[in-house]
Structure 1
Amino acid sequence: MSKHEDAAKVAEVEAEKIGFGIDIGGSGIKGAPVHLGTGELLTKRFRRPTPAESSPEAVGAVLAEVVEHFELPGMAHIGVTFPGIVKDGVAHSAANVDKRWVDTDVAEVARRWTGHTAYVANDADAAGYAEIAYGAAKGKKGTVLVLTLGTGIGSAMIRDGVLIPNFELGHLEIDGYDAESRAASSIKEEEGLSYPEWAERLQRYFSHVEFLFSPDLFVVGGGVSKDHEQFLPLLDLKTPIVPAKLRNKAGIVGAAALAADNA
């Protein structure tokens, strides 16, 4: 679909119901307009590879390309996810992108390159917020932990619908190991583990997190969540555990929703 066709589809929706999210990842940068009432993407995602030298300037240029594709109104706010700890728009760590991002104002980089005010959130936080707003945890009270199983383990805590940012549970030390070095889905692939073998590691991880935080619901995301029937039923927990609904669009949707709610 061309940029003009995408713009035409967006124009059909009332302006106040449109958000825009961009998800910065180690391999790709993707964005789309989002219907804030439903959480649905209004067009297909527009994706560009993350530059090999993923410096702030190189990534900023890609952000500009993504935004330009959709011909956003000048006053539109955008939400941006970042793979690292984010406080007040500033990166305090960087996972799978250039370390020059550390101590960089990501929101300012996005504003400078795109011309739009940007709200920046940790990628797992954005995914978690999307699940609360539109997905598997919508309407849930109490403490919800959204855990994404991928290259590492991303995590988001939401209490009574309020996001508690930068909740890094993938780096808990369990049995002398960084948790994600044993239980991430990338490790399952690298070591050739069967789902039952991997589930034993997940059991150790989720049991530990359950004991520490006594959540009311676990939501499990990441690409592997599409195969949830092969491993979630193998876990023995007191806490209900369900697969995420938004999957690979969660970052974009959550970023857009956070930007709208913090405008």
Structure 2
Amino acid sequence: MTIQAALAIDLGGTELRAALVDREGKIRAFAAVPTQAHAGPDAVIGQIEALAATVYAEAPALAIVGVGVGAPGPLDPQAGIAVGPPTLAGWLDVPLADILERRLGLPVRLENDANAAALGEWRFGAGHGARSLVFVTVSTGIGGGVVVDGRILHGRRGLAAEIGHMTITNEGERCICGVVGCFEAIASGTALGRRATAATTAGDGSTLRRLSADAEVTGRHVVEATRLRDGLASALLDEEARWLGVGFTNLLHLYSPDVLVVGGGIANGLDLMLPTIEATIRQRAMRAYRDVPVVQAQLGRHAGLVGAASLVLFDDVGTLAARMPVGPSTYPDQRRDFNG
């Protein structure tokens, strides 16, 4: 029996990854190279072709039905155009889907990378069985995507769910977008590391500085030091959890998902932060929203690849809802008491 699979591409500013993914979400072949991000579209598209040949050679018996591409925004998923991703030099209104269809001879679907990761977690990961999901990645920045009733929420021009640029305070560091108070500027891993660096000094003997070898402290160092029961790190991570709780409360009120899934590097410390996140949600959310589970992503760095493949394997008419069973969510009931 022939096994169907999709060629999935994760186009990042640092790394370009390709995989063959089957209908069970299993990665059958994988390859990656550093992205030639400063060399322009032609060079990167050539890299995609080369990676496609590499993974095809690893699993020649698979029947490849199409190509799903997760790429940084802004982009137009309907037209298949990369509008102008800031991490890729020279990419201005590049008709990426059309180009790849001609080069690879297969139908191509283009999607925002965060949306692709949300879709992967919804179909095969932590959100499996849910009708709706909010996915938040907390790493260098904060991004994410929303799946509502089986559909990726795109909004006008595909720009919905810019989670990192919600305003959650009128104070603090200025975001790279130029605005003060963005969720990303306050609660990203970068912001956490910046606060930890400011709270310590090189050579002070602190756990944080020892872990960072007296260089700048990162969010990962804060999580690691908290696991070592360092008091300063614990306080910093607790502050981080409170800010995440504020942002998550906004997302619960906006989208009312069955589950909120957290990915990215800082999610490795979710078990440490969850009590404070949940306490903040109980304090700030309206009663009907307090029982939504906040869980760690399951697919890790492959979420975007699996989601990109899903665009092709399950969505040949452009709507996931068409293949979605009618009825209530089958997501495991993890509800807590409203007043708990």
Using structure 2 for the length normalisation, give the TM-score: 0.66
CA distance in 1, matches of 2:140, 2:134: 18
For residue 4 of structure 1, what is the aligned residue in structure 2? none
Deviation at 1:52, TM superposition (A): 4.2
CA distance in 2, matches of 1:152, 1:54: 24
Deviation at 1:231, TM superposition (A): 1.7
Deviation at 1:115, TM superposition (A): 4.2
Are residues 1:255 and 2:308 paired? yes
Q: Secondary structure at the match of 1:46?
A: strand
Are residues 1:147 and 2:136 paired? yes
Q: Secondary structure at the match of 1:29?
A: strand
Are residues 1:49 and 2:49 paired? no
For residue 191 of structure 1, what is the aligned residue in structure 2? 195
Which consecutive unaligned segments of at least 5 residues does structure 1 have? 1-12
Compared with structure 1, are the counterparts of its residues 74 and 61 closer, same or farther at alpha carbon in structure 2 (3 Å cutoff)? farther
**Conservation of the 8 A alpha-carbon contact between 1:74 and 1:116:** no
Compared with structure 1, are the counterparts of its residues 15 and 213 closer, same or farther at alpha carbon in structure 2 (3 Å cutoff)? closer
Larger CA deviation: 54-63 vs 245-254: 54-63
Deviation at 1:257, TM superposition (A): 0.9
CA distance in 2, matches of 1:261, 1:75: 13
Deviation at 1:84, TM superposition (A): 0.5
Are residues 1:117 and 2:107 paired? yes
Q: Secondary structure at the match of 1:173?
A: coil
For residue 167 of structure 1, what is the aligned residue in structure 2? 161
Q: Secondary structure at the match of 1:26?
A: coil
Using structure 1 for the length normalisation, give the TM-score: 0.84
Match for 1:190: what amino acid? R
CA distance in 1, matches of 2:104, 2:32: 16
Instruction: Work out which of the residue numbers 214, 223, 239 in structure 1 matches 2:265.
Output: 223
CA distance in 2, matches of 1:190, 1:61: 38
Compared with structure 1, are the counterparts of its residues 93 and 216 closer, same or farther at alpha carbon in structure 2 (3 Å cutoff)? farther
**Conservation of the 8 A alpha-carbon contact between 2:134 and 2:255:** no
Match for 1:187: what amino acid? A
* Structure whose CA Rg is larger: 2
**Conservation of the 8 A alpha-carbon contact between 2:262 and 2:295:** yes
Q: Secondary structure at the match of 2:27?
A: coil
Per-residue CA deviations over 1:77-103 (Å, capped at 9, x if unaligned) read 1111111033221123414222x3232
CA distance in 2, matches of 1:185, 1:226: 11
Q: Secondary structure at the match of 1:138?
A: coil
CA distance in 1, matches of 2:101, 2:63: 12
For residue 50 of structure 2, what is the aligned residue in structure 1? 65
For residue 202 of structure 1, what is the aligned residue in structure 2? 244
CA distance in 1, matches of 2:304, 2:64: 22
Match for 2:297: what amino acid? A
Are residues 1:83 and 2:136 paired? no
Instruction: Work out which of the residue numbers 204, 213, 218 in structure 1 matches 2:255.
Output: 213
CA distance in 1, matches of 2:194, 2:101: 38
Compared with structure 1, are the counterparts of its residues 51 and 204 closer, same or farther at alpha carbon in structure 2 (3 Å cutoff)? same
Aligned length: 246
CA distance in 2, matches of 1:205, 1:69: 41
**Conservation of the 8 A alpha-carbon contact between 1:61 and 1:113:** no
Identity, % of aligned pairs?
A: 29
CA distance in 2, matches of 1:54, 1:170: 28
For residue 8 of structure 1, what is the aligned residue in structure 2? none
Per-residue CA deviations over 1:229-261 (Å, capped at 9, x if unaligned) read 122232022131111111100011100111223
**Conservation of the 8 A alpha-carbon contact between 2:189 and 2:266:** yes
